Amino acid sequence: MEESTFLTKYSSKVYIIHWRDSFRASKIMQSRVISNPKIERFPTCKSPPGLFFAIGHEPATKFLDGQLQLDSDDYVLTHPGTTKTSVPGVFAAGDVQDKKYRQAVTAVGTGCMAALEAEHYLQEIGSSN
C-alpha cells in the first residue's frame, strides 16, 4: 500500500498485483489506495512498462534460536529507549529490532547506541571484577 501510493508521485498509473483478494495493510493505508485514482488493483494490463516488487519484511532473527526474547512478529525486544535485549551484554540495532521505521538512518542511529551501550557494559563489568 505504502509503496504504491509513493509511486504515484512519479507515475500516472500504478497497478497492484496481489496474491490474494484481501490486504493486510492498515485500514488507513488501504483507504488511501482505494481513493487514489492513479492506483488500480488486479490489472487487465498485460505488459506494464515497469515492475516494482514489495514483498513485506521478515526480521532475520531465526538464527537466534530462542536465545533472545522476540515479539510476536519475531523482532528482537529491546528495553525502551535503549538497545538492551533480554540478555545482559547483548544489544540489538537496526531492522531486527525496528518494526516501525526500518530505514538506514535509524539502523545507523541504533547501531551507534548499541556500540556506546556495549562499551558502557564492558566498563561496568570490568570495574566490578
Ligand X SMILES: Cc1cc2nc3c(=O)[nH]c(=O)nc-3n(C[C@H](O)[C@H](O)[C@H](O)COP(=O)(O)OP(=O)(O)OC[C@H]3O[C@@H](n4cnc5c(N)ncnc54)[C@H](O)[C@@H]3O)c2cc1C
Chain residues that interact with ligand X, rule: CB under 6 A:
60, 63, 94-95, 102-105, 107
Dist CA 125 CA 110 (whole Å): 22
Q: For residue 52, give the nearest of 97, 16, 106 by alpha carbon.
A: 16
Contacts of 103 (CB under 8 A, 6+ apart): none
CB of 128 to ligand X, least distance (A): 31
What is residue 78's DSSP assignment?
Answer: -
* H-helix or E-strand spanning residue 40: strand 39-41
- Residue facing ligand X at closest CB distance: 94
Q: Which is nearer to ligand X, 95 or 117 (CB)?
A: 95
Q: Which is nearer to ligand X, 34 or 108 (CB)?
A: 108
Q: Which is nearer to ligand X, 42 or 63 (CB)?
A: 63
CB of 11 to ligand X, least distance (A): 17
Whole-Å CA distances, 61 to 33, 76, 87, 103, 121: 31, 7, 15, 18, 23
Q: Which is nearer to ligand X, 10 or 63 (CB)?
A: 63
Dist CA 39 CA 5 (whole Å): 8
